[in-house]
Amino acid sequence: MAQKRYVRVMEPAGPGLVKQAPEVVDRQTGQTMPYAITDTNVYTEAQAKAAGFVCKNSNSKQAISQPMMNTNQPYGILPAEKVNGMPSVVRSEVPDPTSGSNTITLTISNGHTSPEQLLLGDGFGILAQVYNIPAKNAATTIGGTFQTETLTRYAAITSGSALRLHGVHLVNTTTAGAESTGFFDNGKMELLYGSPTNNSSVKNRFDLQQLVNSNSFKPNIRESKDFRFLLDGYAAVLFTVPNGEAITVTFNLQSFANGHLMNKDLNL
C-alpha cells in the first residue's frame, strides 16, 4: 500500500502523551501546513507512531526528522528551517561552469612621490574607514583582470560573494619597467578582516620575505603556493607600494561563492 503523503502532526500533551496539532506534514519535502484538528483525544506516543502519525519532539518545534524526508529528491534539495522553527526545503543551484582563467590579476604602478595604499576587496567599505585608507592618487595607475576597474569590480564582487584564493605570484618592477625589489624590501602586503559591528578588526602582515624566488635569475619575481585567503565583504588585501615601484599580483582562484539557495515553498 502506498504511504500517505500528508500525515497528521502530533504535539506533546504530557509525559509520553501526544495530541493532534493543527497541522500536517508533507513526507516528501518535510514542509508543514495548517490543518484543522479533527480529534481532541490524547494518545500515548507509541499509539500515535503506530498509527503513522509524526510526533514533535517535546523540546523542539521540529515536526519531521531528516531521515523521514524523501531521499529520492534531486541532489540540490536540502532541508531548511523557517523563521518560526518549522521545517522547509531549499534547492541549491549553481550556474554551468564556463571556461576561462582561474586567476585574479592586479597591477599597481605608483608614480606618486609617496607610498600608495590600496585595498583589494573590502566590499562593504568597512576596512577603508577603519584604517583611513585614502582615495587613490591620480599618479597611480591600476590594471589587471578588469583593466583600470579591477579594484572597483572586486570591491563590488566581494560585497555579495566570496573568493577563495590559493597561491600568490608577484612581479616587481619600477614604474619605468626595470626589474626591482623595492616592493619586497620596503612595501607591505597585509591581510585585513573587519567586523559588521565596526568595533573590531584584524590586520595580519604577510611576510614578503617568505616569498620564494620562482626564478633564481629574476629576484623581482616571487611566489607562495601556500598562500590562503578568503576574500569577502569583510576582508581585504592591503598593498602599500613605495613610490616609483610597480607590482603585478596574481592570485589563483580556488573557488567562489556562486551557489544559490532557491526557495521551494511558493506559498508566500
User: Does residue 65 sit in the same domain as residue 13?
Assistant: yes
Using one digit for the tens of pLDDT, what is the confidence trace for 95-114? 555 555 689 999 999 999 99
HEC profile for 73-106?
CCCCEEEEECCCCCEEEEEEECCCCCCCCCEEEE
E-strand stretches of the chain = 6-14, 17-26, 32-34, 42-44, 54-55, 77-81, 87-93, 103-110, 116-121, 140-144, 163-174, 188-193, 202-205, 212-213, 221-231, 235-241, 245-256, 260-263
Largest CA distance in the chain: 88
User: Does residue 148 sit in the same domain as residue 212?
Assistant: yes
What pLDDT is stored for residue 261 in this prediction? 67
User: Does residue 110 sit in the same domain as residue 209?
Assistant: yes
Kindly state the average pLDDT of the residues 228-255.
94
Range with the largest mean pLDDT of 1-15, 173-187, 253-267: 173-187
User: Does residue 10 sit in the same domain as residue 121?
Assistant: no
What pLDDT is stored for residue 256 in this prediction? 82
Q: How far is CA 237 from CA 67, 71, 213, in A?
A: 44, 43, 21
User: Does residue 79 sit in the same domain as residue 111?
Assistant: no
User: Does residue 113 sit in the same domain as residue 243?
Assistant: yes
Q: How far apart are CA 241 and CA 218, in angstroms?
A: 19
Specify the number of domains making up the chain.
2
What is the span of the domain harbouring residue 209? 103-253
Q: How far apart are CA 137 and CA 141, in angstroms?
A: 8
Using one digit for the tens of pLDDT, what is the confidence trace for 188-236? 999 999 888 876 677 888 888 778 876 667 889 999 988 999 999 999 9
User: Does residue 78 sit in the same domain as residue 209?
Assistant: no
Q: Which of 65, 93, 121 is the last residue of a domain?
A: 93
Instruction: Give the position of cell 523521514.
Output: 68
User: Does residue 162 sit in the same domain as residue 220?
Assistant: yes
Q: How far apart are CA 193 and CA 123, in angstroms?
A: 12
Give the angle 151-153-156 at the CA atoms, nearest 5°. 110
User: Does residue 114 sit in the same domain as residue 235?
Assistant: yes
User: Does residue 205 sit in the same domain as residue 168?
Assistant: yes
Q: Which of 54, 71, 93 is the last residue of a domain?
A: 93
